[in-house]
Amino acid sequence: MKEPERITLDLVRAHGLTEEEYKKIKDMLGRDPNFTELGIFSVMWSEHCSYKSSKPLLRMFPTSGENILIKAGEENAGVVDIGEGLAVVMKMESHNHPSAVEPFQGAATGVGGIIRDIFTMGARPIALLDSLRFGHLGNGRNRYLFSGVVGGIAAYGNCTGIPTVGGEVYFDETYEGNPLVNVMCVGVARRDNLVKARANGVGNPVLYVGADTGRDGLGGASFASRELTKESDKDRPAVQIGDPFKEKLLLEACLELLNTGVVVGMQDMGAAGLTSSTSETASRGNSGMRIDLSLVPRREEGMIPYELMLSESQERMLVIIKRGKERETRRVFDKWDLHAVPIGEVTDDGYLTVLDKDTRVAEIPAKFLTEDAPVYMREEREPEYLGKIKDVSISTIPEPQDYDDVLKILLASPTISSKRWVYEQYDYMIRTDTVLRPGGDAAVIRIKGTEKAIALTCDGNGRYCFLDPYEGGKIAVAEAARNVVCVGAKPLAITNCLNFGNPTKPYVFWQFRRCVEGIADACGILETPVSGGNVSFYNENPKGAIDPTPVVGMLGLIEKMDFICTPWFKKEGDLIILLGECRGEIGGSEYLQLIHGLKLGRIPRLDLERERAVQDTCLEVIRAHLVSSAHDCSEGGLAVTLAECCISNSGKERGAIIELEAFPEILSIRMDALLFGETQSRILISCHPRNFPQIQRVARRNKVPYARLGVVTGDRLTIRKIKKRVLDLSLKELGEKWRKGLSHGDD
């Protein structure tokens, strides 16, 4: 690559900067930037790095709480205190656009990036979760993307020895051409071992550690900030090849180095590689940094400063150590056969100074690139489509003739069906800490050396947010919290990934604001502050914006592992109880979409106080050892939840007989709305009959309605209304449908 002779406005625009932004750069510097500096500004001021469209709104999130040690935005990931001197570090990130072009490597490098965000803080990564969305599975391209993404996550996660323990997969035409690949990583550290991404101490050496630099991803941060079009297939340089082996070496070496006490600060080279790591550490440390690019190890010849600064080559870290500790540092990296090259030092002039031997190639005050990046209040406008879809009367929806058929169709649908095909490709057992494996409401990971365990889940619903962004945002948080409660954990904090369309479109920005408000309100009432997260804009394809899809990653804490609750029915004779009430809300449901082909209606209302009460009740009865199982009601409604409780424990399926008269609402709600409506704040539990009175007392004390629906028995799922059979299927039939959804016809 050669440097252009002069900087034209076309060149500025090609870098994703506006004319106003370019003028601002000139004003701030007091001169024209050179080509390298233009590149540096363009990546640091890109949407992906600067959050310029989202920062003002993200301030709505509650970020502090008694368990929050390091708040969102302060460092690479948020940190939550879990007691006994231990801290959980967690974050979720998206890699949507690269995965659309090259699914295997796009997903793999996404995993690589989020893992580095965790161990860069001094925490050993102990779990991964993935939230994936694709277009309809019937389409060959989507099958290809799906297989590739799962394969890439498996290859990278398994090789680095971190269990992938949970996640979700959705299929909807809104994600056609623009799949969503959100990966969450969670790590554990001792509180006093946490490392910050700050450059401090004048003269302290700055080390480049890890893989050689190549021309990977040049323009990648801008790639994420631009829409995908048919042209994107030619965006070859923006796809990188991950090296999970190198990552594993980096992980072990960095953690080992941290124990020696020589590390002042550390940051992974992620988006915009050298540029972001140097400017961000200098900016956070209120210091400066000087580096010499001629010292950077490279695998290509003839790389110019612009390329070296913007390269997104994977598996590289920036490490700032105490002066004089070079030998100890070298010893650790030599042991692991890793490059560790001093490329510069910390200064106190506030500048990011980039040299190439003796030539100064860039000189920018670090804060110009970070704190002083522009921030925009985008125009917003409520979308017109909302007015047309809000209300749908159930009387306009034809009632199904055969409820057995409806349930079979729902269970076999890719979004609802068993995800075994996915998670059996992930090593979810590595580290021997996975106490509750994939397939439940949340994964549970024990913390050896303590009696504690953490519960993890990720949840989101794009269709709800399309129909009602505010309510949908609330529900994403509520459902995630409900899921960890169902395994016996107390919800502590969330991370999140906000996937939206082009924010310069007023209706998209309106959707974004409303979702953020919903999430913020729910986090407030449920007391689960936001520990950090990621925003992914420009998720569009030639046909339009995706449904607004905020994904919430929830962390829950189990203080004593003596009872972990699973969702499946256990013993013949156990009673089946629904906590919460049925309101027959079918708006936005899977039932409405799959059976009637409709995506409309008022989505289920979420009453946060009721939600809280239901969660408190459930947690209390689980911890008092009163229940045999607990499962949250979500996609597909009550009937699907019941079926899952019956069949999801392979080899130990249990039938049930349900009498719908137990519901006072039975007379006023139509049968399909009752069975398949997705009313919120409901948990299905089962218990030994002798425990029922106590459960009733707890529910009443929390003012939570409940209904005793039936009993665990036999080998069929039978739902009756006043002796008349509404639904009656054998466990074998239910299981066959549910297990088939995703598999390709083999095993």
Partner 1 sequence: MQKLFQAKVYVSLKKGLADPQGSTIKEALESLGYRNLSEVRFGKYIEVKLRAKTKKGAEQKLKEMCGKLLVNSIIEEYSYHIEEKG
Partner 2 sequence: MKFGVVVFPGSNCDDDCYYVVRDLLGEEVDFIWHKETRVEGFDCLILPGGFSYGDYLRTGAIARFSPIMRAISNFAGRGGLVIGICNGFQILLESNLLPGAMMKNKNLRFICRFVNIRVENNLTPFTNLCQIGQVLKVPIAHIDGSYYADHETIGSLKENNQIIFRYCSEEGGLAQESNPNGSKDFIAGISNRQGNVLGLMPHPERASESILGSEDGRLIFESVVRAVKG
Q: Tell me which residues touch partner 1 (CB under 8 A).
A: 101-102, 105, 211, 214-216, 233, 236-237, 239-243, 245-246, 299-300, 313-314, 337
101 interacts with, out of partner 2, partner 1, none, CB within 5 to 8 A per kind: partner 1
Site residues, partner 2 (CB under 8 A): 151, 154-155, 158-161, 243-246, 248-249, 335-337, 423-432, 434-435, 446, 448, 561, 746-747
Q: Which residue has the tokens 């993404």?
A: 149
Distance from the first to the final alpha carbon of the chain? 49
Residue 675 CA to residue 633 CA, distance in Å, equals 11
Residue 474 CA to residue 254 CA, distance in Å, equals 38
Strand partners, 720: 659, 725
- Give min distance, CB of 413 to partner 1, in A: 30
Contacts of 421 (CB under 8 A, 6+ apart): 742, 743, 744
Please give the torsion angle defined by the CA atoms of residues 284, 285, 286 and 292, in that order, rounded to the nearest 10 degrees: -100
Tokens of 488: 């016996």
DSSP of 3-64, one letter per residue? --SS--HHHHHHTT--HHHHHHHHHHHTS---HHHHHHHHHHTSHHHH-TTTHHHHTTS---
Q: Which residue is catalytic, options 15, 48, 97, 631?
A: 48
432 interacts with, out of partner 2, partner 1, none, CB within 5 to 8 A per kind: partner 2
CA neighbor of 37 nearest in space, from 362, 280, 351, 290: 362
- Give min distance, CB of 714 to partner 2, in A: 23
581 interacts with, out of partner 2, partner 1, none, CB within 5 to 8 A per kind: none
Residue number, 382 or 424, with CB nearest to partner 2: 424
537 interacts with, out of partner 2, partner 1, none, CB within 5 to 8 A per kind: none
- Give min distance, CB of 33 to partner 2, in A: 40
- Give min distance, CB of 553 to partner 1, in A: 29
Output Rg (C-alpha) for the chain, integer angstroms.
Answer: 26
434 interacts with, out of partner 2, partner 1, none, CB within 5 to 8 A per kind: partner 2
192 CB neighbour count, 10 Å cutoff:
8
Residue number, 434 or 549, with CB nearest to partner 2: 434
Residue number, 257 or 638, with CB nearest to partner 2: 257
- Give min distance, CB of 336 to partner 2, in A: 7
Residue 631 known to be catalytic: no
Contact 626, 686 (CB under 8 A): no
Residue number, 75 or 130, with CB nearest to partner 2: 130
Residue number, 394 or 435, with CB nearest to partner 2: 435
427 interacts with, out of partner 1, partner 2, none, CB within 5 to 8 A per kind: partner 2
Residue number, 341 or 429, with CB nearest to partner 2: 429
216 interacts with, out of partner 1, partner 2, none, CB within 5 to 8 A per kind: partner 1
Residue number, 240 or 549, with CB nearest to partner 1: 240
139 interacts with, out of partner 1, partner 2, none, CB within 5 to 8 A per kind: none
- Give min distance, CB of 672 to partner 2, in A: 37
Q: What size, in residues, is the chain? A: 747
Residue 398 CA to residue 410 CA, distance in Å, equals 17
Q: Which residue has the tokens 């000139």?
A: 26
700 CB neighbour count, 10 Å cutoff:
12
Residue 596 known to be catalytic: no
Strand partners, 359: 356
156 CB neighbour count, 10 Å cutoff:
26
Name the amino acid, one letter, at 132.
Answer: L
Residue 183 CA to residue 167 CA, distance in Å, equals 9
CA neighbor of 492 nearest in space, from 521, 530, 452, 460: 530
309 interacts with, out of partner 2, partner 1, none, CB within 5 to 8 A per kind: none
Name the amino acid, one letter, at 71.
Answer: K
Residue number, 427 or 590, with CB nearest to partner 2: 427
Please give the torsion angle defined by the CA atoms of residues 680, 683, 684 and 685, in that order, rounded to the nearest 10 degrees: -170
Helix (H, G, I), strand (E, B) or coil at 648: coil
Residue number, 171 or 426, with CB nearest to partner 2: 426
Question: Quick one: which H or E segment has residue 92?
Answer: strand 86-94
Three-state SS string across 219-280, please? CHHHHHCCCCCHHHHHCHHHCCCCCHHHHHHHHHHHHHHHCCCCEEEEEECCCCHHHHHHHH
409 interacts with, out of partner 2, partner 1, none, CB within 5 to 8 A per kind: none
- Give min distance, CB of 215 to partner 1, in A: 6
DSSP of 485-536, one letter per residue? HHTT-EEEEEEEEEE-S-TTSHHHHHHHHHHHHHHHHHHHHHT--EEEEEEE
Residue number, 100 or 594, with CB nearest to partner 1: 100
Catalytically active residues, by annotation? 48, 95
